[in-house]
Amino acid sequence: MITHSAPAKDIAKQVAENISQIRGRISEAAKRAGRNPDDITLMAVTKTQPPEKIIAAYEAGIRAFGENRVQEFAAKREQLSDLPDATFALIGQLQSNKVNKAVELFSAIHSVDSLRLAERINAAVERSGREPLPVAIEINTGDPVKAGLAPDSPELEQLLSSAPRLLHLRIEGLMTIPPFTEDSEGARPYFRRLRELRDSIATRPLSGTSMDLLSMGMSHDFEVAIEEGSTCVRIGTAIFGERQK
């Protein structure tokens, strides 16, 4: 396991080895599902991780990163400014008073869980003058303690119907975090439900909505998520070791 006391070269080596192993597992899971591994993005989740580990992951080939907290990422963003073509998505809950800062910092926001939040992000992007911001809708597929819109909620329908007027957003798909189970198979019904919802939405002619992104699967269950259609797996612990406090 990587620790603070480990020399920088050891950290980089371990991170690279972990990423190589994960890519192998992604490839095997994709083959089992008859899918192309190249269609699956490996996103490194960097919550509580210092810049040196993020840079090590970048040097090992990672280009998509996910952060959970606006303030935490703001504190280390400058140290990560020299990473060409790296993208940083906000995957944690976004408070309304941090929308402007999030729009300034992130390449995408994958945790939109209300129409009101989408409208605030849209307005902030318009004020900023930047290109339309890619977003994903967070769906709660069955965990009462997690955020997200229920698959059958009226507000999800309102958000989708409002997409054509949210000119400064691009709704690219869905994200979910299933209830934790020790057995990764326990997550399969929740992943399947998200895929079925995505497939249903994708059949509708909704302007401003593509549904190409299906973000699901973490360190303990990403292979099951890939078998169920994930296009982006969010991996933290399996790359970096246990989170630092």
Q: What is the 3-state secondary structure (H, E, C) of 173-202?
A: EEECCCCCCCCHHHHHHHHHHHHHHHHHHH
| Mean pLDDT, rounded, of the chain | 94
Q: Does this model's pTM top 0.85?
A: yes
Among 82, 127, 80, smallest CA distance to 101 is for 127
Q: What is the pLDDT of residue 230?
A: 98
**pLDDT tens-place string over residues 40-55:** 999 999 999 999 999 9
Task: Sketch out the chain's domains with CATH numbers.
Answer: 8-240 (3.20.20.10)
* Residue 92 pLDDT exceeds 50: yes
Structure tokens that stand for 108 in this block: 């995408």
* Residue 3 pLDDT exceeds 70: no
Calculate helix-pair angle for 154-162, 115-128, nearest 10 degrees: 30
* Residue 1 pLDDT exceeds 60: no
Q: What percent of the chain has pLDDT over 70?
A: 96
Among 114, 132, 110, smallest CA distance to 177 is for 110
CB 118 within 8 A of CB 146: no
The C-alpha angle with vertex 93 and arms to 128 and 189, in degrees rounded to 5, equals: 125
